[in-house]
Amino acid sequence: MVRDDPERPDPGFAELYGSLPDAVDLEPWLTWCRRAAPPVLYLGVGAGRLAVPLARAGVQLVGVDAHPGMLAALERRTEGIQPVQALIEHLELGRSFDLVIAPSNVLDDRPRLRAAARHARHWVALELINPHWLAAGAGRGVRVQRLDRMEAEIEVDYAGGWTQQARTNLIWPEDVESFLEGAGLELQLMKAAEEAADLKSSPSFYVLACKELRSDQMPSTY
């Protein structure tokens, strides 16, 4: 049993993620990254399951993670990603990025979302776990231990006998706009995973947000 706890990194958590195969489906991240000026800031870069394939596809990345074991695994795999060890909510890089991405539900609270917005010149793209999917019983290999309107505790099984425990804040799709507004962001796009029949049945969903700009300042490529 391993636990995702950024403030008290579990060595087994890095070992688990280092054992996972690389992502094959890079969307929507690859399209969004290619439309942004480099480099892209990747929050929660982990051991590189998604980041390394993105880098191989030509995306320049600065990767942030709080877990030293994750960054060590990432550095063993590639020299093409600039690693930064930090808690997202405390991040102060002193520079901004055209695009900030955050796959894997790492921006599930306001302090981390504000940190992402603080480092974004234009765009923040994130993935959030879907509370409707959890409330409906989730899927195979995912057990909901506790769920209320605000948060959930879950267990997730992986190949090799690994089980991850996680506590997540819940951002319901219908509340996304107000969640973004608290960080000075505006919703541009919200979509389900490609294989899902609709938003409510999707295990997670993607959000593309922009800094609060006039409409004539927003790049039409998005």
Alpha helices in the chain (DSSP H): 11-19, 29-34, 51-56, 68-77, 110-118, 131-135, 176-181
For residue 87, the domain's CATH number is: 3.40.50.150
Q: What is the 3-state secondary structure (H, E, C) of 10-67?
A: CHHHHHHHHHCCCCCCCCCHHHHHHCCCCCEEEECCCCCCCHHHHHHCCCCEEEEECC
In single-letter form, the type of residue at position 216 comes to: D
Q: What are 141-180's pLDDT values in tens digits?
A: 999 999 999 999 999 998 888 899 999 999 999 999 999 9
Residue 108 included in any domain? yes
Residue 204 included in any domain? yes
Return the CA Rg of the chain: 17
Residue 95 included in any domain? yes
Q: What are 104-120's pLDDT values in tens digits?
A: 999 999 999 999 999 99
Q: What are 45-94's pLDDT values in tens digits?
A: 999 999 999 999 999 999 999 999 999 999 998 888 999 999 999 999 99
pLDDT of residue 218: 44
Domain span at residue 66 reads 22-130+172-217
Domain count within the chain: 1
Categorize the per-residue pLDDT at 182 as very low, low, confident or very high, splitting at 50, 70 and 90. Answer: very high
Q: How far is CA 49 from CA 53, 71, 184, 216, in A?
A: 7, 12, 30, 36
pLDDT of residue 220: 42
Candidates 167, 207, 159; CA nearest to 183 is 207
Residue 203 included in any domain? yes
Q: What are 18-47's pLDDT values in tens digits?
A: 888 999 999 999 999 999 999 999 999 999
pLDDT of residue 7: 74
Report the alpha-carbon angle 204-45-13, nearest 5: 85
Residue 110 included in any domain? yes
Residue 115: φ, ψ to 5°:
-65, -40
